[in-house]
Amino acid sequence: MVRKRDRFWEYAEDLKGRFKCKFCQRDFAGGASRIKRHLAGVKGHDIDICKKVSKEVQEEAALIVGEPNKKFKGASTSNRDKEREINSTSI
């Protein structure tokens, strides 16, 4: 099954392993996740923030970047939860 192309590619030109932002015209290494971080203005992921992106696209990208990975949602249990479980079964 072929994976669907991320819709944020509409804001970047695919340069095969790199991309060029259609807002600021800068090119970067990486793929869709780096495009979203660039457009969202997320610091700390070794990519510059786009200063020319529209507010609407920036907010949309920030919303997507801020979502937890649904694949792992609920898969981990905190140590506190494990401790409660142990304590409740040992009584």
Digit-coded pLDDT (tens) for 58-84: 999 999 998 665 443 344 444 555 455
Find where tokens 């095969």 sit. 16
Total structural domains in the chain? 1
Assigned domain for 1 exists: no
26 compared with 44, residue with greater pLDDT: 26
DSSP β-ladder status, 18-21 and 12-14: antiparallel
CA distance 72 to 83: 21
CB 66 within 8 A of CB 36: no
> pTM of the full predicted structure?
0.69
Assigned domain for 2 exists: no
Assigned domain for 67 exists: yes
Assigned domain for 30 exists: yes
Paired tokens of 83? 């401790």
Assigned domain for 81 exists: yes
Q: Where are the alpha helices (DSSP H) in 16-89?
A: 32-40, 55-66, 79-89
Owning domain of residue 64: 7-89
CA distance 82 to 12: 45
CA distance 67 to 20: 24
Assigned domain for 13 exists: yes
